[in-house]
Each structure stands twice: as structure tokens, then as C-alpha cells.
Amino acid sequence: MKVAKSVAAFRNWRKIRTGRVVLVPTMGALHHGHAALIRSARKLAGRGGSVAVSIFVNPTQFGPNEDFSAYPRPWYRDADVCRTSGADAIFVPSAGEIYSPEHSVVVEESTLSATLCGQSRPGHFRGVCTVVAKLFNIVQPTHAVFGEKDWQQLAIIRRMVRDLDFPVGIVGHPTVREPDGLAASSRNGYLSAAERAAAPMIYAGMRAGAEKKSSAAVVATVGRAFAGIPFARVDYVEAVDADSLAPLKSRRMPGRLLAAVFIGGTRLIDNIPLPPRT
């Protein structure tokens, strides 16, 4: 497995690849959810193709009071997850390799980013789009795999690829969950034992809401369920159209239920489908 720390070293590896090159962009702290993304990238790449994982804790997508410095960077464990899950290369640049000190060009999606996490984390999706666009330019993947756990991010990346004509197939991978239903996330490691015990109530509350017949009843049911979660402070709960992220007017249309909840000091997000009801 190739480990490339610079753009030049990665491009040397890339230029002799034939077949599909499937990118799994990550910020490291890889868990079994990431391992599943890499394994699915491996299948997608096929026998003649290659899988590249990028590991870069992207400073521009963190707000001033967020966890950029504290974000875990367990390099040896990450390299192991990549190797055992079928990666052929890891691109692990420094911040200086990605952003020149005077960088002044950004990529900004202006509609889908204005809601949900975009409201609570101003500038977050600008940072995500900018770094993903740069990774696409450096890696030149034929495909890229993103987790559906970050549903809004996935919708925004699809929009960016469509609107800026990136020749990259975007593949969403279903959310990987712990046995108790909690969505796998690097941030779960921040939870105390008592908070970790409470966190699965997010998914349970969302599933209870998804049974309801109207969007308003879905959101109200989830809100009531969340009110009973110890240590919880709700950021948002919304039923939206799965692609446009506009409020879901009717449960006759397929939708998505998205939520962000602080458990203690840790902000967790989750989403589930809202299949159409007749």
C-alpha cells in the first residue's frame, strides 16, 4: 500500500493507474463505518482498479469553537484499517500541502448548505466543498464513496459535482450502526459512559417518528422522544425532501428525517429514510 504525503507523490502513483480509481475521502480516526466504505470502494474498483483513501483533518470545515485541535489522529491504527479493508494508497497530506498561506479561492454551494447543519455551522460546507473539490483535482478519481450518515454533505457533494461538471461518480454508502443503533462516528469516542448509554435513543426516537402519517407528526414525535434523552440538547429535527432538502410537504413523497443533537458537549447527527405512505 502506497502512502503519499505530498500532492506530487500521490500524482506519481495516480498516473500509472489504469481502470477505476475509487476515492474514499476521510478525516481519519477510522472506525468500522469507514472500513465498510473502503470495502465497498474495493468492490466498485474491481480487479483492475484501485482504491485511494485520503486522510486529512480539514481545518477549513471546523468553526472557531469546534474540535479541530482535539480531533483524534491515530495514524498507525488508521493505516491498519486502510490496509486490512483493501486500500491501495493513502493520501495523507499536511495542511500546508493542501492550503497555500495565501489561498483565496473557495467552492461554495449556496442552497442546500443554507439549512440544517449549515445553519448551526456557518462556513462548514464551504470548507467541505473546497477540500473535496481539491481532492477530486488531486486524486482524479473515477468514483468517490461517501457515507450516508452525513446526508446533507452527500447531497451537497452531488450538487457540486453536477454543477461544476466533475467527472466523478458519487456513491452513497448506507449508515453503519453499532449493535444498539447508534450511528458509527469518530465523535462517539468523546461520549462519557453515561452519555454513550443515552445516545442510541436518538435513532430509536427517529424510528418512532418515522411511523407517523404527516411530516408535522413525525417531527413532533421525535421532539418528544428527544426531550427524554439524558444530557441531550436538540439542534434540529427536520423532515425534508431527500435531494432538495426542502421541507417535506407530504408523506406521500419519499423523504428523509435528519437530526442533530448535542449529547453533553458532543454534537451527533443522524438521518433515516421516510418512505412514502399511502
- What are the distances in angstroms from CA 266 to CA 108, 188, 255, 258? 26, 8, 26, 17
**Judged by CB under 6 A, does residue 155 bind ligand PAF?**
no
> Using the rule CB under 6 A, is 131 a contact of ligand PAF?
yes
Stretch that binds ligand PAF, among 2-10, 19-27, 39-47, 268-276 (CB under 6 A): 19-27
- Catalytic pick among 31, 32, 34, 173: 34
Establish if 27 lies at the interface with ligand PAF (CB under 6 A): yes
Among 97, 109, 150, 195, contact with ligand PAF (rule: CB under 6 A): 150
Q: Contact between 78 and ligand PAF (CB under 6 A)?
A: no
Q: Which residues contact 16 (CB under 8 A, 6 or more apart)?
A: none
Contact, 236 vs 219, CB < 8 A?
no
Spatial separation of the C-alpha atoms in residues 87 and 2, rounded to whole Å:
9
The set of cell numbers assigned to 190 is 468523546
Closest CA to 260 of 271, 275, 274, 246: 271
The reply to whether 173 belongs to the active site is: no
Specify the residue, 158 or 277, whose C-beta has the smaller distance to ligand PAF: 158
SS3 183: strand
Residue 245 found at the interface with ligand PAF (CB under 6 A): no
130 binds ligand PAF (CB under 6 A): no
Q: Among candidates 52, 60, 71, which has minimal Cα distance to 98?
A: 60
Q: All 3 cell numbers of residue 219?
A: 417531527
Q: Does 128 bind ligand PAF (CB under 6 A)?
A: yes
- Shortest distance, position 208 Cβ to ligand PAF, whole Å: 27
CB of 186 to ligand PAF, least distance (A): 8
Give contact residues for ligand PAF (rule: CB under 6 A): 25-27, 58, 61, 128, 131-132, 150, 153
Catalytic residue numbers, as ranges:
34
